[in-house]
Structure formats: C-alpha cells, structure tokens
Structure 1
Amino acid sequence: MRFSIKGEGQIRRSLETRDRAEAESKAMEVWADAKHRAKLGLRSQAKRFADVAQEFLDHTAQAVARGERNKSQAHNWALKVNRYLVEFFGDRDIDAIGQREITRYLEWRRNYWISGPGQNVEQIAYQRGGRTVRRRVPPQLRRPPSPATQRHEAVAIKALFRQAAEWGYVQPSAIPHINVPRVIAKPRPSFEASEFTRLEAAALARLEEEFLHPSVRRDRLILYCYIKVAAFSGMRPTELKNLNWGDILDYRERRQLPLRDRDIRIRARGKAKSRTFVAMEVVLPVLDMLWSDWVRLHGGDPADKDPVFATTTGARLGSVKTALNGLLAATGLAVDHNGVRRTSYSFRHFYISQQIIAGVDVFLLARNCGTSVEMIDKWYADVKLERMSKELRPEWKRLGGEN
C-alpha cells in the first residue's frame, strides 16, 4: 500500500500477503492506525528503540561538532546508551516503553555487573584512536552503581526520550520520571596544611637527590611544579592539562621583572567552559622553572599555544597520576582521615579549604574557582565551621546573674 501523512510525505508499506481481500483489510487497519498516531502527534510508524538510540547519538555528535554540547558528556552518553539501554530495550518500539518498563530497566541496571549479563564479562572493549582496545573489568563495577552514576545515567535516558518526543516518536508524557538515590555530601579528600607541607618537602627532596638520571629528575620536576601550581591556584586537573603559556596573561612580557612587580592571572579552559582568575603569587617562580625547562629542551622560548605541562617532545602531558600516586604512597598520604583516596583533584580542595580558613569572601572564592557558593557550602561546610571557631566560642555572660 501507499499513502500520505501530512508532514511525512508519501509512505509505502508492505502488507505481506498475496490475498487481495486480506490486503485491503490490512490496509484499512494500517491507514486508521497511522491517522490515529498523527492525531496524537506521533510518526505514522513506531520505531525501534535501537534505531532511535543511534539517531540520538548521531544527533549528539553533531551538536558536539558545532560546539553546542560537551564532548566528554556525549562520549559518556554513548557508552551508557550502547552498553545498557540498547541491550535492554533493543528491538522494542520506543513508544511502547512506559514507566513500568523503565522501572524494570533500572533494577536490571543496578544488578548488571553483579548477577546480570555482565557478571561473566571479564573484559570491556572500547574504541581509542580508531582501534579496538580491551581492558579488564575494574573491581568497582562489581557493585551497584553509585547514586552519582545513577543520576548521570538518568540524565542520558531523559535526554534520549526528550529528543524522541521532539522527533515525534513518543509523546511528551512518555518522557520517564526516574527516582534515583540522593547523593550524600561528603567532605572531599583534601590535605591538612601540615600534610601538604610534608608532601611538598618530599617532592622537593626527591627532585634534589644526587645521581638521578636526567629523565627521572625532569619527571620529578614536573610533578613538583604540578603540585605547587595546583595547590596555589585551585585549578581542576582538566584545566591544568589544557593550560598553555598564552593562558598566563602578561607572563611573557613581565617574566624578567622582579617578582614584586609581577602579577598572575590565568585563563583556565576546562571541558566546556573557560574563566579568567587570580592565582597565588607563589605560582610565579614555579612557572619560571617550567619555562626554563622548556628552553633547555627546545633551545628557545615556548609559543603561546605550547602546553605548560609538557613531555620532553613538547607534547601535552596527559596525566601525573602514576608519579603522584607513588609520592602519596611514599609519604603515607595516599588516603585522608576518612580513608578516601587522594587524587590530583585534592589540591583544588586544599586550595579552597585554605582560602576559606584564611577568611576569603566565599562569593569571590566561588567566582575565582569557577563554581557556586552553594557548591562550596555543600562540600566545604566543615571547613567553614573551622573558620568560624572564634564566633562559635563567644564569651558567655555569667550564668545566674552577677555575684
């Protein structure tokens, strides 16, 4: 049969029979169903979930190419959609998926790596640089997803169904409502001032050891500088990775001046946003060390687009994770007092904590760090109490009246 629906053009459909009477009967049913769906604002023919999911991921990739969506978020969505959602809903018509099916999916997802399809999977395959790479399933997957993970995946599910509704594959009322556990605010793994002093001293001592191979000494130099810049600027690890010499405003022009006549403002670029902020002046001599290292290796000054944290070839340094973990373990600082493992992000938490304790206005601090007052209040409430210690110990008037 062949018919037209406004907004969809001409549609051809096989009735899968050679009997004319049966074909005419089926044609009337198809026509009536298509008209009914059109009145509901739906496409004339239901689409498989897997097809809509691929269309959604293609649409998201195009948004990334146009600079309208975060690349990292789109990548994570693709992983979640292909591994979990397509595996569960696959060939089902997307407009037949209701709240009950979503609820069943969420339970299936919580048990995926424990008693579900992933329990016997030993390796995960993914694409990197155009080739397939395999790695062992990390131990942390062998437990229910954290509340934060569940929230991130809920965002992806809603985004997919919301886009499907805009395309007319489902009604807006079909966008699922997902209840996920609340993320409990816990203090971020930071450093006490004495702990950071110990870590900094150890990093410097390891750098100054005698008889070190030049490559080892340089690795330790980079780690020492990374720690100092991170701890006294509050930059996120991604921002540090993306940092170019041109992002340190006026540094090149004022580099030869005495430290007292220099200032430091940095243009930080993260995954999707950028900001210009003020760092502590102690960062300046550390940057001078990194500049001199570049000149030593390459025989000339770095260009504005060259990375501040670079390999010996001048390429952008990917991570200091291995070197940092070794230093943290050697100094007994791998975990904080709550047993939470410290990472390169801990230096940002140290910076924010120290600024709060020093009495820096929380609004200015939030603007400088590219976050919100609400987030600082949520994650650093215990530090704020420390800052308010004097206010919490007022001089009480004599109880019971004067003697």
Structure 2
Amino acid sequence: MPEPFQLFQRTGSSKWWVRFSIRGQGQIRKSLDTTDEAEANQRARKVYYEALYRTENGLNATVKTFGDMAEEFIAKIEREVERGERKKEQGEKFPGIIRRYMVGYFGDRAMDSITDRDIDAYVEWRKDYWSKGPGRDVAFITYERAGRQIRRPITKRDPPTLSRQRNEAVLLRTLLRFAAKQGYIKQAAIPEVEVVKAPDVPRPSFSADEFGRLVETSMARMSDPKLNEHVRRDRAILHAYMMIAAFTGCRPTELKGMNWGDVLGYREGRNKPLRDRDIRLRVRGKGKARTFVPQEAALLWFDTLWMLWVRAMKRDPLDAEPVFATTAGNRLDSVKKSLAELLKACNLLTDHRGVRRTSYSFRHFYISQQLIAGVDIFILARNTGTSSDMIHRFYADVKLELMKDHLRPEWKLLVTV
C-alpha cells in the first residue's frame, strides 16, 4: 500500500523533504532535516500522522512557533490601525512589546507546548528583564513614534509598574486567544494569564474648601493689573478649564478633543438670558463617545472661551474648531505646567497623602460633590462615562460621608455617658 506522503529533494540539496495533502489544509511541505532516506521515511510518517491528528482535533495541520504566530498577530494589529479599528498608539507600542519581551522569551517554542507554568515563568522573567535579564546590558532603547525612530537611554531598571504589568498581561492574553482562533492551540488549552489587580487607591481630589481656595487664587492671579495680555489670556483659559472640568466631570482627554460643535445647544442660546440657556456636551475618550448633562455653572466659562477665540481670530469659531485653543486657533495641547504653578501658589499641589494632583483631580471633585449632593450612583456613572462599580471602589470615603447620619443613631444606654 503506497504511503500517504511523498519524499523529495530540492535541487542543489541532499536533505529530504516530505509533502502531502490533508482535506481543508491544502498541501503541506516540511524539511525532514536528514540526508538518510530510511530515516527520512520514518520522520515523514511521524510528521504526516501528527498533522492528521491535529486536523482531526480542530487544529492546524502544521505546528506554529510562538514567534511566527506573534508576527501574524502584529500584522493583524497593523491592519486594524489602518482601518481605524485600533488606536494609532497601539500600532506603535504593541509590536515592540511583543517582539522584545514575548517573542524574546518564547521564540521558537511550539504554540501548543506552552503551559500555565511557562506563562508564570515568563511573568517573573519579564519583571527582572532590565535588571537581571537580557536588558541589563542594554544602554538605549529604540522605538517608533509617528513614523520616526526615537532612541532614548535606559535610566530606570525597576520592575514594570502594576499598571504596565496589567496592560502587558491583557495583550498577551489577547495574543493567545488569537492563536486559538487561528487553530494553533485548542480553545480549552489556552494558558492562563493572570491580570495583576492594582490596589484601589482613592483619587487625589479637592475638598469644597480647597476648591474654593483654588478658585479665589486663580481669580486673583488672572486679574493682576501687572500682567501682559498674553499671560492674562493663558490664565483665563486655565481658569475656564478648571471650572468646566470641575462642573462637568470631563476627563482631560475629553476636554482636549472637544470642539464647539460638541457643545450642543450653545450656539443657538448665546443671545438668550442665562435662565433660558441650556447645553449638553458630546465627548469622546477611552474609545467611547457619550452625550451628557453638565452643571449650569460650566456655561459661563464657555462664554469666556468663545470671547477669547473671537478676540484672537476676529470671527466666531466653527463647529469643527477646538473649544480650548491657542491664539492661532490650534488645539491646546495641555495645561499641565500652568495648573502645577497655580496649585503650588495655593499649596494644593498634593493631597493630604502626598499624592500629586493633576487635571484629572477636577473629575474626581465633580464625582465626589455629586455623591455628597445625593445624586444616584447609577445615573452619575452614566453621566461620567464610567461604571457604578468604579465609583463604589474609588469613592468609599465619600460614601462614608453620605452615611454619616446612619452611623450616628441614637443609642439607648442603661448608663449615663
């Protein structure tokens, strides 16, 4: 009975190869890495029946190495970036992480040979990569950003932060699931990748008194008669920024990307009395978009930004132009430096734990104040684009304040206190 495979030698080579076909898999060719025909025949038989077994069990006929599979996954990421299905930053960051660490560790390992134990060993190896591992002798790291090659020195050799460990674990888990979908490993055999859970730490916010002090100081700095108009404008924009952030709960990325067309109802109501005006905000951030209701106190500061735009550009802004803009009409990149100066002036740069406040602190102030005012957590979560679970986890101290009356019931004691 003839063998279900054929042996052959390529022109100019004495090594034997095998070729065969399996239904649904096409023709498969593989080097047997021997010049002995009898040994080649034995190896060919093993290759064929292994491929047949894999096919019958729902896998690809050929074994895939981790490195080859990783390149397929990277190509998929790049296609998704081109189609706008992934963020551009992911297309720039993920390939380097995958090749340096994951392929650097698993390399030519067969995909279906990687176990939970291997994943655990990889995680430990990754933590020590820059201190005891392959990176200990690397002085510079090269990566691509916006199409440019950037080279920077390695200044820290600490283990990756919990946040980075978590992000890389999610990436590795996604890569392994991709391998299963491609038939390189069985779905039930996907190695377990534990995602590191960062401890819940209350966000650095402001108390009502601290926010009042911040506003008062900002107003005084903005109205200083000694200022030139350029500095006065910058301080006015900063003040509008923190007031809008504090009374809307927007994330910094959402404020940065906000255009005038996203301030719904603003243009139509500009000439109406304040009591008759109302707006909604449409924002984009964290891969999602939402429309929500801001506090009325934010409205006046959109007026300030509109006035500053008209003064600089000599015309009204278009719907597609940014709310926070430079004198040239370009999107304002950041208020980080000017905000830090204001916080220092108020002695509010850090909270009582020594945690540094940022522009994100206004969002936390908004959520805290809404909770204290009794706004339903589910509705608040929808309005701020987060989950009620996140609010429960990170605003426990505020919830205690809400429950203070329940924590002070009248006790009926038999003794005099």
TM-score (norm 2): 0.88
8 A Cα contact 1:70 1:271, kept in partner: no
Partners of 1:147 and 1:180 within 8 A in 2: no
**Partner of residue 198, structure 1:** 213
Q: Of residues 282, 287, 290 in structure 2, which corresponds to 1:275? A: 290
- Counterpart CA distance in 1 for 2:185 and 2:121 is 19
In structure 1, the partner of 2:352 is 337
**Does 2:66 correspond to 1:46?**
no
Establish whether residue 172 from structure 1 lines up as the match of residue 182 from structure 2: no
Q: Which moved more, 1:90-99 or 1:247-256?
A: 90-99
Matched residue, 2:4? none
* Alignment equivalent of 2:48, drawn from 31, 35, 45: 31
| In 2, Cα distance between equivalents of 1:76 and 1:395 | 59
1:377 to partner: Cα distance? 0.9
Write the letter of the residue equivalent to 1:296: R
SS in 1 for 2:183: coil
Quick one: higher RCO (CA 8 Å, sep 6+), 1 or 2? 1
Give, in angstroms, the shift of residue 20 of structure 1. Answer: 3.8
Give per-residue Cα distances to partners, 1:168-221, cap 9 Å, x unaligned: 111223312133543221211111112122222222222222343433333222
Q: 2:92 touches 2:144 (CA, 8 Å); kept in 1? A: no
Q: Which runs of 5+ in 2 are unaligned?
A: 1-17
Q: Is the 8 A contact 1:277 1:368 kept in 2?
A: yes
Kept in 2, the 8 Å contact 1:244–1:304? The answer is: yes
Distance 1:27 1:216 in 2: 78
Please name the residue that 1:209 is paired with: 224
Change (3 A) 1:16 1:135: closer
What is the deviation of 1:122? 4.3
CA RMSD of aligned residues (A): 2.3
Aligned equivalents of 2:177, 2:196: Cα separation in 1: 22
Q: What residue in structure 2 maps to residue 104 of structure 1?
A: 121
The corresponding residue for 2:112 is: 95
Aligned residue pairs, count? 399
Deviation at 1:161, TM superposition (A): 0.6
**Equivalent of 1:233 in 233, 237, 248:** 248
> How far does residue 51 in structure 1 lie from its aligned partner after superposition?
2.1
What is the aligned partner in structure 1 of residue 100 from structure 2? Answer: 83
- Which deviations, in whole Å up to 9, do the C-alpha atoms of 1:307-361 show, x marking residues without a partner? 1112222222222222222222332222111111211111100100111112222
Map of 2:277 onto structure 1: 262
- Residue 395 in structure 1 maps to residue 410 in structure 2: yes
Within 5 A, what are the aligned runs for 1:104-143? 104-137=121-154, 139=156, 142-143=157-158
Q: 1:312 to 1:76 in 2, by over 3 A?
A: same
User: What amino acid is aligned across from residue 186 of structure 1 in structure 2?
Assistant: V
Question: Is the contact between residue 172 and residue 193 of structure 2 (CA under 8 Å) also seen in structure 1?
Answer: no
Rounded to whole Å, the distance in 2 between the matches of 1:259 and 1:243 is 22
CA distance in 2, matches of 1:145, 1:24: 49
SS of the aligned residue for 1:191 comes to coil
SS of equivalent to 1:232? helix
Q: Shift in Å at residue 136 of structure 1?
A: 4.2
1:15 equivalent in structure 2: 32
Q: Flag the structure with larger Rg.
A: 2
Range moving further from structure 2, 235-244 or 37-46: 37-46
Structure 1 distance, partners of 2:106, 2:394, is: 37
More moved, 367-376 vs 318-327? 318-327
Equivalence for 2:361: 346
User: Normalising by structure 1, what TM-score?
Assistant: 0.91
Helix, strand or coil for the counterpart of 1:13? strand
Deviation at 1:13, TM superposition (A): 2.7
Tell me the CA shift for residue 224 of structure 1: 1.5
Contact 2:205 2:362 in 1 (8 A): yes
- The 1:200–1:63 alpha-carbon spacing in structure 2 relative to 1, beyond 3 Å, is same
- Establish whether residue 305 from structure 1 lines up as the match of residue 320 from structure 2: yes
SS of 2:31 mapped into structure 1: coil
The Cα of 1:384 is off from its aligned counterpart by 1.1
- Give the CA deviation at 1:274: 0.9
Identical amino acids, percent of aligned pairs: 54
Unaligned stretches of 5+ in structure 1? none
Matches within 5 A, 1:307-322: 307-322=322-337
**CA 1:206–1:79 in structure 2 vs 1: closer, same or farther (change >3 Å)?**
farther
CA distance, structure 1, for counterparts of residue 75 and residue 151 of structure 2: 24
Are the counterparts in 2 of residues 161 and 174 from structure 1 also a CA contact under 8 Å? no
How far residue 16 of structure 1 moved from its aligned partner, in angstroms, is 4.2
- Counterpart position of 2:20: 3
What is the DSSP-based 3-state SS (H/G/I as helix, E as strand, rest coil) of the residue aligned with 2:28? strand
Moved more, 364-373 or 217-226: 217-226
Shift of 1:287: 0.6
Task: Give the direction of change, closer, same or farther, for the CA distance of 1:78–1:327 in structure 2 (3 Å limit).
Answer: farther
Structure 1: distance between partners of 2:149 and 2:192: 35
- How far does residue 235 in structure 1 lie from its aligned partner after superposition? 0.4
What whole-Å deviation, never above 9, does each CA across 1:235-261 have from its counterpart, x for those lacking one? 011111111101111101111112111
**Alignment partner of 2:341 out of 326, 329, 350:** 326
Give secondary structure in 1 for the equivalent of 2:231: helix
Amino acid at match of 2:179: A
